[in-house]
Amino acid sequence: MLSLILAEAELLHTPPLLLLDDVLSELDAGRRRVLAGRIARLPQTVVTATEASALPLEASQVVHVEHGSAR
């Protein structure tokens, strides 16, 4: 399903805001790196993760939420 969403996002004339909720927990390290490379080419992507260590590359922006408050 993720492959289809990424393919569609790359084919659209107006790139979408791509929201990926906790997809990294389902992928191994190699697939996380491939995903990071694919979404890096898109202008707007939001990826949620339970741990910052799940991110395979340096994020351009991180919002840390703890006990319902962002910091």
* pLDDT of the residue at 62: 84
* pLDDT of the residue at 13: 92
* Residue 29: both structure tokens together: 């390290």
* pLDDT of the residue at 21: 93
Closest CA to 20 of 50, 44, 53, 45: 45
* pLDDT of the residue at 67: 86
Q: Which residues partner with 40 through β-bridges?
A: none
pLDDT band at 10 (very low <50, low <70, confident <90, very high): confident
Helices first, then strands: H and E counts in the chain: 2, 4
pLDDT tens digit string along 13-43?
998 999 999 999 889 989 998 998 888 888 8
| The pTM of the whole model exceeds 0.75 | yes
